[in-house]
């Protein structure tokens, strides 16, 4: 088991650094970063000055390993735009995004699990068709648009929840719903198929013949096995919530990492963009790692095979 975890962790780290290398190459080769920082109308002198000042005149490999060396010492460079260390910039804003991601995941669980379970227990009923309809529609709704509609509805017509800012828990209700809704189709479908499969298994039939019905049957026999794959998908979805926070945070004016990402892109702040990509990748591979370990712990076939 330890060997399995170590191997997986090594792979995860390798993936995260590959992502950082790919992002570095794309951001530096696709176009001239000095030109992007200087703006469209800048003269050649200004561009050259920027290039020299930020060390962009050095070869690509030198710059990447310079960045990598810094990262290994906990130094992510200095922001071009805010003129402070990138690491403290990201650290200051991380808690807003973690709160948002966790509450969004809670929303996903609260909607997707009951809906998927009800659909699985009554296949081809109206509730099953309703759940399928919810999944199909939720996949087609643009996330940013759903956010704006929420703001229109709750900002004017039903002013129950605040629509802008991040001061209290009430500020997180609507953003969490919008961000959480995007994961509902995947989690709901998986719960439904998993539960249908388990409900037709022999041990559930045996339990039923022993007199288990309804809630007790679900709780003690069916749910546990059906939820195994759901747990690992939830971990992956939580990883994706961080990257998905860009839109939600900018719509609801939450001062977290997603908004920082948008601001640093519009400010051509490459060190901050580079670090955010790295941080989001680290979060994603960590969540995947946790999912792998959970699966291995719960299902011995994986860790042996």
Partner 1 sequence: MTNTNISNAVLNDADPQCDDAELGMQTPGQIFRNRVLNHRGFLIGSGIIAALVLIAIFAPLIAPHDPYVQSLSSRMLPPVWSEGGSWDHILGSDQNGRDYLSRLIYGTRVSITIGLGAATVGLFIGVTLGVIAGYFGGWVDHAISFLLTAQLALPGLLLAMALVFIIGPSIWVVIGIVGVLHWTYYLVVTRAATQRIRSQDFIAAAQASGATSRQIIWHEILPNLLSSIIVIFTFELGIAILAESSLSFLGVGIQPPTPSWGLMIAEGKQAMFYRPWLVVLPGICLFFLVIGANLMGDGLRDITSPEGRNG
Rounded to whole angstroms, the Cα distance separating 188 from 47 reads 52
The answer to whether residue 52 forms part of the interface with partner 1 (CB under 8 A) is no
Stretch binding partner 1 (CB under 8 A), from 74-82, 199-207, 211-219, 244-252: 244-252
Rounded to whole angstroms, the Cα distance separating 4 from 87 reads 31
Indicate which single residue of 194, 244, 256, 271 sits in contact with partner 1 (rule: CB under 8 A): 244
Which residues from 178-197 bind partner 1, rule CB under 8 A? 193
The answer to whether residue 137 forms part of the interface with partner 1 (CB under 8 A) is yes
- Tell me whether residue 48 or residue 197 sits nearer to partner 1 (CB atom): 197
Which DSSP string corresponds to 51-115?
HHHTTTTS-HHHHHHHHHHHHHTT---B-TTT-SBHHHHHHHHHHHHHHHHHHHHHHHHHHHHHH
Stretch binding partner 1 (CB under 8 A), from 88-96, 107-115, 209-217, 273-281: 273-281
The answer to whether residue 149 forms part of the interface with partner 1 (CB under 8 A) is yes
Q: Is 169 helix (H, G, I), strand (E, B) or coil?
A: helix
The answer to whether residue 110 forms part of the interface with partner 1 (CB under 8 A) is no
Q: Which residues contact 292 (CB under 8 A, 6 or more apart)?
A: 8, 232
**What does the block give as tokens for 154?**
């709750």
Stretch binding partner 1 (CB under 8 A), from 89-97, 106-114, 208-216, 268-276: 268-276
The answer to whether residue 18 forms part of the interface with partner 1 (CB under 8 A) is yes
Indicate which single residue of 10, 102, 110, 136 sits in contact with partner 1 (rule: CB under 8 A): 136
- Tell me whether residue 144 or residue 212 sits nearer to partner 1 (CB atom): 144
Helix count and strand count (H, E) for the chain: 15, 0
Task: Count CA within 13 A, CB hemisphere, residue 144.
Answer: 6
The answer to whether residue 42 forms part of the interface with partner 1 (CB under 8 A) is no
Q: How far is the CB of 139 from partner 1 (least distance, A)?
A: 6
Rounded to whole angstroms, the Cα distance separating 231 from 210 reads 29
- Tell me whether residue 34 or residue 223 sits nearer to partner 1 (CB atom): 34
Nearest to 289 by CA among 281, 114, 63: 281
Stretch binding partner 1 (CB under 8 A), from 13-21, 59-67, 202-210, 224-232: 13-21
Nearest to 181 by CA among 117, 226, 247: 247
Applying CB under 8 A, which residues contact partner 1?
Answer: 11, 14-16, 18-19, 22-23, 26-27, 30-31, 33, 36, 136-137, 139-145, 148-149, 151-152, 155-156, 193, 242-244, 246-247, 250, 261-262, 265-266, 268, 273, 276-277, 280-281, 284-285, 288
């Amino acid at each position: 088991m330890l060997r399995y975890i170590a191997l997986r962790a090594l792979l995860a780290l390798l993936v995260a650094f590959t992502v950082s290398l790919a992002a570095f190459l794309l951001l530096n080769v696709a176009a001239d970063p000095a030109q992007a920082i200087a703006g469209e109308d800048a003269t050649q002198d200004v561009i050259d000055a920027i290039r020299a000042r930020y060390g962009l005149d050095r070869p690509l490999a030198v710059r990447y390993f310079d960045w990598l060396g810094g990262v290994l010492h906990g130094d992510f460079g200095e922001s071009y735009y805010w003129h402070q260390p990138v690491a403290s910039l990201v650290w200051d804003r991380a808690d807003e995004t973690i709160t948002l991601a966790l509450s969004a995941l809670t929303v996903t669980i609260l909607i997707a699990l009951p809906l998927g379970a009800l659909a699985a227990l009554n296949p081809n009923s109206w509730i099953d068709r309703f759940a399928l309809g919810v999944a199909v529609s939720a996949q087609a709704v643009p996330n940013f648009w759903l956010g704006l509609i929420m703001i229109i509805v709750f900002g004017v017509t039903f002013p129950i929840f605040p629509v802008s800012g991040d001061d209290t828990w009430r500020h997180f209700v609507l953003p969490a719903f919008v961000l959480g809704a995007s994961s509902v189709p995947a989690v709901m479908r998986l719960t439904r198929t998993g539960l249908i499969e388990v409900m037709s298994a022999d041990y559930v039939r045996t339990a039923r013949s022993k007199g288990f019905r309804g809630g007790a049957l679900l709780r003690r026999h069916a749910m546990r096995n059906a939820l195994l794959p759901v747990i690992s998908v939830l971990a992956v979805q939580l990883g994706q919530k961080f990257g998905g926070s860009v839109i939600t945070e900018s719509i609801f004016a939450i001062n977290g990492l997603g908004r920082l990402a948008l601001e640093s892109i519009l400010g051509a702040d490459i060190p901050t963009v580079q670090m955010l990509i790295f941080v989001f990748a680290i979060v994603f591979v960590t969540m995947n790692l946790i999912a792998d370990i959970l699966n291995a712990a719960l299902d011995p076939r994986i860790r042996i095979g």
